Amino acid sequence: FGRDVLTRVMYGARISLFIALIAALVNLFIGVIYGSISGLEGGVVDDIMMRVIDVINSIPLLLYVILIMVILDDNSMFTVMLTLGLVYWVGMARLVRGQVLGLKNQEFVLAARALGVPKRQIIFKHLIPNALGPIVVSLTMMIPSAIFTEAFLSFIGLGASAPQASWGSLANDAVKVFRSSFYQLLFPAGAIAITILAFNFFGDGLRSALDPKLRKG
């Protein structure tokens, strides 16, 4: 069709990174708040909220995408973004819950409760700031996972479709002409690999900088 490979790879970067950003923001907003409430409340509330996460985790991501496509009758990037928004926060929620369980019996939290500080202020002013290190590291690690998931869904035809271009759809188009024009697969696959490696290295660097044990070593 006379389409420029470099231009489509660059345009695909916009789509892939935008979806990763949306997934990260939803991950941060829903996962942190949900996990904080679950860890702070404890007891029956914690059990119910964790069972909800178990149910969400038990259903494969691909099934979510197909189900949303059937309900909305839409096969576009919106479906991918909605799916990632619905399921990608559960890992963050588990992480934050574990951090809150370790922090809620600390003296400063007990003192705030004794003074009658509302739970909302305890969560946002005491618990989340003290768990910010692991949250930021997990967030940076989830971005490459979201990029790969979007690329996979687009590769199998459940994401961006022509004339839109994402790295996954470019790889799918390149497979058909791989024997004669292998470079068409090389560039989108290389862009995916380099971006994922970059975010993984960035996450490892943040973990080393924010974890006192690793910094001490």
Query: pLDDT (tens digit, 9 = 90+) per residue, 144-158?
Result: 888 888 888 878 777
- Residue 185, Cα to own-chain centre: how many angstroms? 25
Q: Pick the residue with more confidence: 109 or 209?
A: 109
> Could you say which DSSP state residue 208 is in?
H
pLDDT for the residue numbered 188: 87
Q: Indicate the residue type of 184.
A: Q
- R_g (Cα) of the chain, nearest Å: 21
Kindly state the tokens that stand for 47: 């059990």
Helix 183-210 / helix 5-26 crossing angle, nearest 10 deg: 30
Tracing tokens 């290295």 back to the chain, one arrives at 201
Kindly state the tokens that stand for 77: 């990037």
- Residues 174 and 59: their CA atoms lie apart, in Å, by 31
Q: Are 76 and 150 in contact (CB under 8 A)?
A: no
pLDDT digits (tens, 9 = 90+) for 11-61: 888 888 888 788 778 878 888 899 899 888 888 988 999 998 888 888 887
Kindly state the tokens that stand for 137: 């590291």
Kindly state the tokens that stand for 120: 């909302």
pLDDT for the residue numbered 7: 83
Residue 195 has pLDDT above 80, yes or no: yes
pLDDT for the residue numbered 123: 85
Q: How high does pLDDT run on average in the chain?
A: 81
- Residues 159 and 63: their CA atoms lie apart, in Å, by 14
Which of helix, strand or coil describes residue 150?
helix
Listed in sequence order, the DSSP H helices in 73-182 are 77-87, 90-103, 107-114, 119-122, 128-130, 132-155, 167-176
Q: Give yes or no for a cis peptide into 60 (omega within 30° of 0).
A: no
pLDDT for the residue numbered 75: 64
Kindly state the tokens that stand for 112: 């705030």
Where does the pLDDT of residue 74 fall: very low under 50, low under 70, confident under 90, or very high at 90 and above?
low
CA trace torsion 122, 206, 28, 148 (10° rounding): -160
Residues of the chain with pLDDT > 90, as a percent, come to 2
